[in-house]
Structure 1
Amino acid sequence: ETLECSHDDADLYRMFWYKQNTNRTIQLVTYSVGKGETETDPIFDKKKYTMTREEQLKSFLLIKDLRTGDSAVYYCAASSSQWKRPYPAYFGPGTKLTVLDPNNEITKPNVKILPPSSQEGKGKGEKKTLVCVATDFYPDHVTVSWKVNEGVGTDSMAKWDDNTKKYSITSRLRVLNKKWHKESNTFTCTVDFFNGQSNENVTDSINGSSEGIVLILIYLYYICILS
């Protein structure tokens, strides 16, 4: 597999390739101090990981004999260097490489929305939290979105389970109390899953609930009768 990186700033003459594993640790794989000058970090096999740089503003990372352990996000970075001074490195968005395990079947996620707690966000103007949970999928090429797209917080990356050999990811949606207590509102979570050949969507929906409002009205009515 060959990964390509390029930039347009001639002052950034040093280039690097990094590997970020599923446990989120990031390691330097190869680096270059100039055109035609490349090195592989000692912790990596230079016969497997090779960097080429025939142009000043472009480099390639070649990964041979792909194994499942090569699955990671690979980042290219560029920087300049000044004597005895720290210098920033500018990173690209990263390239996600997945090497499928032949013994692990491609499986689309199970998606379920969990309703908010009845104890959360009772006051006017406060918010409720809906949780979308996608589980038991492989590989981890997914994106999560909500139909009501406000206050969304999604895990930065899917989590691997060594027991099931599958991934999971969680997304949370914060909505105003009054929106949740309107039964006509529908909240939909969509997980876009790439199965190796095409993308398919797996969704789950939940309607708002007026249950909390009814309980409050009954409670107020009860107080009025007693008084």
Structure 2
Amino acid sequence: MEIKKSNTIREYKYFNNELLDNIDNSFSSDFNYFSPVWNEVLKTIDIHNLLDVGCGTGNFSCNLKSKISGKLIGVDGSSYALEKAKEKGFDEVYKVEDLCTQPIPLETESVDFALCKDVFEHLLDPLYLLSEIQRVLVPGGYLLTLVPNHFPIAGRLKFLLTNNLDTFNYFPNSKAWNLPHIRFYNYENFVDFLGQANFRVVENYSGFFPKLPIFHRALRLLAKSLVRKLATSNPTQFAEGLTVLVQKE
């Protein structure tokens, strides 16, 4: 029997160029769903050097360029994505092909703020990367991080009906055996994970990404403030994106 060999291994490691372009095309100058989180962060924190780990093409931090006093630095495994990030104003970009084994190429205690959004769920050894982020942050430095929560109540209901791990259809062309998300978190174990590298939670922003089993759009709009409160108070049950600001102790 002839065994088919995959020629798409690199696509499991990074997003392919077509997907990166599709993500770019979904953004506009007046729409970035992560901006409300940044607006809250910037109310209390002055950022000097900002490191975006797993920056992709830079969509989620490039709008910070004019709001920080130092450098905007990107790390990613895709040369194509990093070129796009440079076009969007990143001061420095570094290619790291394996975030589970290769160090971030920055000096110890050289940045005061890091973003790591939608990265840890892709890694075999997420604690290695978390430890590297802790290393390059100054004492008292901040990490803003987000991982998806596949199984709030709404996700569990979908899983019950579909038996599909990709409960919110992030990767419609993937199957269970090649799903890019290989680590799964709820809020409590995500906080525990962050604590393994001596980070403490400063703020919980999960309320910006609520996911309730309410299917009528009008009901969601009417109950917006209540929905956000629920997702903030109990992210494991009611938030799709587990989003926290933590500080290096």
TM-score, length basis structure 2: 0.22
Q: Which has the higher helix share?
A: 2
Q: Which has the higher strand share?
A: 1
TM-score, length basis structure 1: 0.24
User: Of the two, which has the highest radius of gyration?
Assistant: 1
